[in-house]
């Protein structure tokens, strides 16, 4: 406390040692004080992390788009190789009838697959934590499921399952399943040992321990799994659509990309790509929001930002 800092010749030792003792006479040396005082008050808009988190990525995006537009115009690139962003947006509007329907199909498959994967993943995790023996016996198969490329399995599933939507949902759910299983299982096991002992001391039943201790402890891990799986569900849905290649009614965005490729309609391809990316971003934002709502008050991953 009372040791002055010899490495800081600028600051007078008295002020450094007792910053609170000399508030009136304290001149320039105490640089940290006004800054620390200002933080609780509202800083200028651009200094708020909340605003920065939106503004910075948007700025980068705008610069990239401008660059893209500029390059396409300057190098006179033909639209069948690289369409300009403006043309892409135009196509998005003119072809909305086809693209919008496809978007709906892809979103539907993704969301259904995500829900199926979540429910199945959670159930499997509960099964795993019942006994180490069950987990040891079954976990390798969960890994097998994860490492087998879905592109290789999808044709089989599409042959076996008559309904095209159902078959694609199964494919996408298989891709999205593993992170939910592994994260939730880890979470259900990651209970603070002393807290576990406390429940044991109070003669808590298995059900009480599950509901009041294991499930809340697992939530941060579970939501981490959800965030990964939401993205994987979309990838799975697109891959399944590619493999299935169904046309006509009920064709998803992947089909639009395939068709546009055949017809060399590159602007439409880009528009469909944009929609897929936006869907992924929307899913991620939704999951981040859900996580914050569920853990906002207490978990370190959500409380350390502000």
Partner 1 sequence: MSIPAASPPLAPAPRPTPAVEVLSAEKTYPNGTQALLPVDLTIEEGEFVTLLGPSGCGKSTLLKMVAGLLEPTDGRLHLWRKPVAQLDESGKKMAFVFQSPTLMPWASVQTNVRLPLDLAGVPRAEADARVTEALALVGLSKFANALPRALSGGMQMRVSIARGLVTQPDMLLMDEPFGALDEITRHKLDADLLDLWRKKKLTVIFVTHSIHEAVFLSSRVVMMAARPGRVVEEFCIDAPYPRTADFMVSPEFSRYAKLLQDSLLRASVDTEETVA
Residues that bind partner 1 (CB under 8 A): 192, 194-195, 197-204, 208, 212-213, 216, 219, 295, 297-299, 303
CB of 107 to partner 1, least distance (A): 32
What are the CA-CA distances from residue 76 to residues 13, 18, 81, 215 (Å)? 66, 67, 11, 58
Count Cβ neighbours within 10 Å for each residue of 191-218 and write b for 16 or more, e otherwise. Answer: beeeeeeebeeeebeeeebeeebbbebb
Backbone phi and psi for residue 291, each to the nearest 5 degrees, phi listed first: -60, -45
CB 124 within 8 A of CB 139: no
CB 231 within 8 A of CB 224: no
**In terms of CB distance, is 162 or 305 closer to partner 1?**
305
The alpha-carbon radius of gyration of the chain (Å, integer) is: 27
- Tokens representing 266 are 């590159």
Rounded CA separation 130/233 (Å)? 27
CB of 123 to partner 1, least distance (A): 23
**In terms of CB distance, is 14 or 219 closer to partner 1?**
219
**In terms of CB distance, is 7 or 304 closer to partner 1?**
304
**In terms of CB distance, is 5 or 198 closer to partner 1?**
198
CB of 22 to partner 1, least distance (A): 24
CB of 238 to partner 1, least distance (A): 36
CB of 184 to partner 1, least distance (A): 16
Closest CA to 230 of 88, 116, 79, 80: 116
Within 10 A of 303 (CB to CB), how many other CB atoms are there? Answer: 12
- Tokens representing 276 are 């897929």
**In terms of CB distance, is 44 or 193 closer to partner 1?**
193
Rounded CA separation 74/63 (Å)? 16
**In terms of CB distance, is 39 or 202 closer to partner 1?**
202
CB of 20 to partner 1, least distance (A): 18
**In terms of CB distance, is 205 or 249 closer to partner 1?**
205
120 by Cβ neighbours in 10 Å (0-12 / 13-18 / 19+) ranks as: middle
Rounded CA separation 112/108 (Å)? 6
CB of 287 to partner 1, least distance (A): 19
CA 150 to chain centroid:
21
CB of 183 to partner 1, least distance (A): 17
**In terms of CB distance, is 52 or 208 closer to partner 1?**
208
């Amino acid at each position: 406390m009372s040791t002055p800092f010899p490495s800081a010749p600028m600051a007078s030792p008295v002020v450094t040692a007792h910053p609170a003792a000399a508030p009136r006479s304290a001149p320039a040396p105490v640089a940290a004080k006004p800054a620390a005082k200002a933080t609780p008050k509202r800083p200028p808009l651009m200094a708020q992390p909340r605003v920065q988190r939106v503004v910075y990525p948007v700025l980068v995006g705008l610069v990239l788009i401008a660059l893209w537009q500029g390059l396409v115009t300057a190098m006179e690139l033909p639209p069948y190789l690289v369409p300009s962003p403006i043309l892409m947006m135009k196509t998005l509007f003119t072809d909305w009838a086809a693209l919008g329907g496809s978007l709906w199909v892809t979103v539907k498959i993704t969301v259904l697959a995500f829900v199926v994967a979540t429910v199945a993943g959670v159930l499997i995790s509960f099964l795993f934590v019942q006994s180490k023996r069950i987990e040891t016996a079954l976990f390798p198969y969960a890994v097998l499921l994860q490492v087998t490329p879905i592109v290789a399995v999808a044709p089989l599933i599409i042959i076996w399952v008559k309904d095209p939507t159902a078959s694609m949902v199964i494919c996408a759910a298989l891709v999205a399943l593993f992170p939910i299983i592994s994260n939730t299982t880890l979470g259900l096991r990651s209970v603070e040992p002393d807290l576990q002992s406390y429940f044991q001391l109070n003669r808590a039943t298995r059900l009480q321990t599950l509901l009041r201790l294991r499930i809340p402890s697992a939530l941060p891990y579970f939501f981490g799994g959800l965030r990964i799986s939401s993205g994987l569900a979309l990838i799975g849905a697109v891959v399944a659509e590619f493999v299935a290649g169904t046309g006509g009614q009920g064709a998803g965005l992947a089909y639009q990309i395939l068709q546009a490729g055949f017809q060399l309609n590159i602007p439409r391809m880009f528009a469909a790509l944009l929609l897929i990316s936006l869907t992924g971003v929307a899913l991620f934002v939704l999951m981040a929001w859900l996580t914050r709502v569920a853990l906002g008050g207490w978990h370190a991953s959500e409380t350390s930002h502000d």
